[in-house]
Chains A and B, each alone.
Chain A
Amino acid sequence: GAVVSQHPSRVICKSGTSVKIECRSLDFQATTMFWYRQFPKQSLMLMATSNEGSKATYEQGVEKDKFLINHASLTLSTLTVTSAHPEDSSFYICSARRIGRGAYEQYFGPGTRLTVT
């Protein structure tokens, strides 16, 4: 149990366009989901915390108007990269906190590789 999926796994888009990434908890409900960004050979940097039914909380330095997060249900959060630029190319990973379990339990998705040309 506790499987998190992401779609798409890879996406290539042109500069100036927007791209949406989905994060789903497949066999559990998640009140909180997290979005991370990972540059090559580097660690994960938390971008934002997404709570179902409320606005996301963004980390310092993350542009909320550029990285739109919607947590519309207990099993789905989406990250939309608006007006993408080549510097937005990265590996985006989501995680989900399971309802009813310890506050420390996060389950990670497989990641989405975004390439902006």
Chain B
Amino acid sequence: AQSVTQLGSHVSVSEGALVLLRCNYSSSVPPYLFWYVQYPNQGLQLLLKYTTGATLVKGINGFEAEFKKSETSFHLTKPSAHMSDAAEYFCAVSRALTGGGNKLTFGTGTQLKVEL
């Protein structure tokens, strides 16, 4: 079974400050890991993903995340927050399905608030 834990349902940062959103996972097989962003009343947009290879992955909008197997973590960071980053962020882990495809398991989400 797979699971994702996002520490902190709400995170508030000042504009220009570092953004750190935490994600820990549990998986019995090597995981695929994802961060998605959701703006109000919209679907999910992929920020970045880790599958294999380099453990530091860069995504859109200046976000990056580092896969740390020893810590079972995949924390999302951005050096300098912008007002437009205010949104809900979901970490997800994936496992392969028999016959192809994959099944995503989402964390409970972290609401990021950016203040002036």
**A residues with CB within 8 A of B:** 4, 6, 31-32, 34, 42-44, 46, 49, 51, 91, 93, 95, 97, 102-104, 106-111, 113
CB-based contact B108/A42 at 8 Å: yes
Binary CB contact string for chain B from 32 to 76 against chain A (1 if under 8 A, 0 otherwise): 101010000111111001010000000000000000000000000
Main secondary structure of the interface of A (DSSP, over half): strand
Q: A93 vs B106: C-alpha distance in the bound complex, in angstroms?
A: 13
CB-based contact A111/B49 at 8 Å: no
Known: A42-B109, A102-B51. A31 touches B41 (CB 8 A): no
CB-based contact A111/B42 at 8 Å: yes
Please give the distance in Å from A20's CB to the nearest CB on chain B.
18
CB-based contact A97/B44 at 8 Å: no
A and B contact pairs by CB, cutoff 8 A, 21 listed? A31-B100, A42-B108, A43-B106, A44-B90, A44-B106, A46-B105, A49-B101, A49-B103, A91-B41, A97-B102, A103-B96, A103-B97, A103-B102, A104-B49, A104-B94, A104-B102, A106-B102, A106-B104, A108-B36, A108-B46, A109-B43
Main secondary structure of the interface of B (DSSP, over half): strand
Q: A93 vs B97: C-alpha distance in the bound complex, in angstroms?
A: 20
Q: A49 vs B109: C-alpha distance in the bound complex, in angstroms?
A: 22
Q: A44 vs B92: C-alpha distance in the bound complex, in angstroms?
A: 10
CB-based contact A108/B108 at 8 Å: no
Known: A49-B97, A102-B51. A111 touches B102 (CB 8 A): no
Instruction: Pick the residue among A6, A43, A46 that contacts B107 (CB under 8 A).
Output: A43
Q: Which residues of A contact B96 (CB under 8 A)?
A: 103
Q: A31 vs B102: C-alpha distance in the bound complex, in angstroms?
A: 12
CB-based contact B43/A93 at 8 Å: yes
Q: Which residues of A contact B102 (CB under 8 A)?
A: 97, 103-104, 106
Please list the 10 inter-chain residue pairs (A to B) with the smallest Cβ-Cβ separation, ordered nearest first: A108-B43, A108-B44, A32-B101, A110-B43, A104-B32, A43-B106, A111-B43, A43-B108, A44-B106, A103-B102
Q: Which residues of A contact B45 (CB under 8 A)?
A: 108
